[in-house]
Chains A and B, each alone.
Chain A
């Protein structure tokens, strides 16, 4: 897996996942929400030239939307109303969202929250591995656990956090910043 892709997904796509999920729900695709998000990540991870992508958010949403359309087309019942509603509920907006920098600070708080909320042993493992930067072996030695157990805890904790990230569509852990809008207002004065 290309490292730059994973980093890009983390910085440019992950912060917008909750919005994409909310849109899918409004567009009546809740039952296939997880499948579409997974497929969207797969498509995004196959982008050859990341430099050509101006807005990760816009690209992500367009991909999600296309996947919904493809599903509707494949189902062969083409409910025109459904398509119209999708357009109406569109959150596709190319305007760059919350400042990257604000997102970065928020993400730090988010990371702390996510790790704090893990079950105790899991939390210890994640704190060592991700906050303190210990290797699996070092963490295992420090906690008096086998490496195998540490690995299992990593998988378990990661799984919990993956669900937690998806659930941010229900209620964000941290209010989203709209600094871009403020900037725009400033300019209009």
Chain B
């Protein structure tokens, strides 16, 4: 196998060299045929091209401009661009109210029990069997308990489930064509337009999809593709896990996101909408933890950190750089 890969690299290097001076029609046909024969051919060829491109960037880098390789700037000015917001006291204080508030809808129907949350809401639910669920804002779940299983359908949004042990009745969260199954464990499931995400915080979860089954352990995350039916598994660092699930405490943790992205995240879950005016301001990098459901506190913190002007009126909150 090693020799195979080596021989492939030989041919890939030849093609990369030929492509660089330009191919005639026959060569192009020959190359296309070779590439389509084996994914390793294709992979070796794009790798050869990437390395060839990298070698050409030495010139650009030395000259000061650096297409593709860097975002510009030197090492020294990095800390200045990356603003570090320590946990803002007011933002953290927000947890209690954000977490406890639930104005959502809860109702029983023949099809089980429905829980629906709106914007700026977080629901903590004690389920009949002692399991606990935290439902994120803009979410909808349906719970049906039978003698042989506990079934939760995630119809919208995101939920985290701390499952009470009951070997006879597995706890199943159904999202699109996938089912995440646990006996006693804790995990989160979210549903988005094109994909779903299962994140395990404790124990093991078994996920069944249209194309097979996997076991996911604590710290693991699986991306479920609605279209492909596939699952992409990765392990998250403890840091990342805490970040991803901070919403359970009504918090959001940013780590170098641009202000516009951070604002989009808050706008997604709150009715009070924040608008940022000024490209330079919007590009500032935000790091720190904030109350997810308190856009006004977030805006105030941004104003303080970047000397930006914050105006709140009935239309929402406007943040502008002081100049304009």
Contact = CB atoms under 8 A, between A and B. Distances in A.
Interface size class of B (residues with CB under 8 A): 35 or more
B20 A38 contact: no
B59 interface: yes
A131 B9 contact: no
Interface in A71-130: 87, 90, 92-96, 99-105, 107-108, 111-112, 114-115, 126, 130
B240 A94 contact: yes
B56 A155 contact: no
B188 to A, nearest CB: 16
B280 interface: no
B100 interface: no
Interface in A166-189: 179, 183, 186-187
Residue in A41, A44, A100 with the greatest tally of chain B CB atoms within 10 Å: A41
* A contact patch SS: helix
A62 B232 contact: yes
A165 B52 CA distance: 12
Contacts of B240: 93-95
A132 B56 CA distance: 9
A111 B57 contact: yes
A65 B47 contact: no
A26 interface: no
B55 A111 contact: yes
Interface stretch (B35-43, B121-129, B143-151, B171-179): B35-43
B68 to A, nearest CB: 4
Interface in B95-141: none
Interface in B212-236: 217, 232-236
B200 interface: no
B305 interface: no
A27 interface: no
Contacts of A154: 17, 20
Residue in A35, A102, A114, A156 with the greatest tally of chain B CB atoms within 10 Å: A35
B43 A42 contact: yes
Nearest to A108: B61
A141 interface: no
A42 B45 CA distance: 8
Given A151-B17, A162-B47, A108 B42 contact: no
Interface string A138-175: 00000000010001101110110111010000000000
Contacts of B234: 58, 61-62, 65, 92, 94
A90 to B, nearest CB: 5
Given A93-B237, A131-B62, 9 more contacts: A10-B50, A11-B68, A31-B1, A41-B42, A94-B234, A103-B69, A115-B55, A133-B56, A154-B17
11 contacts: A7-B68, A39-B43, A43-B43, A69-B233, A93-B236, A101-B72, A103-B70, A158-B17, A159-B13, A162-B47, A187-B84
Nearest 3 pairs of A and B residues by beta carbon: A34-B5, A42-B43, A104-B70
Interface of B: 1-2, 4-6, 8-10, 12-14, 16-21, 39-59, 61-62, 66-75, 78-79, 82, 84, 86, 217, 232-237, 239-240, 256, 287
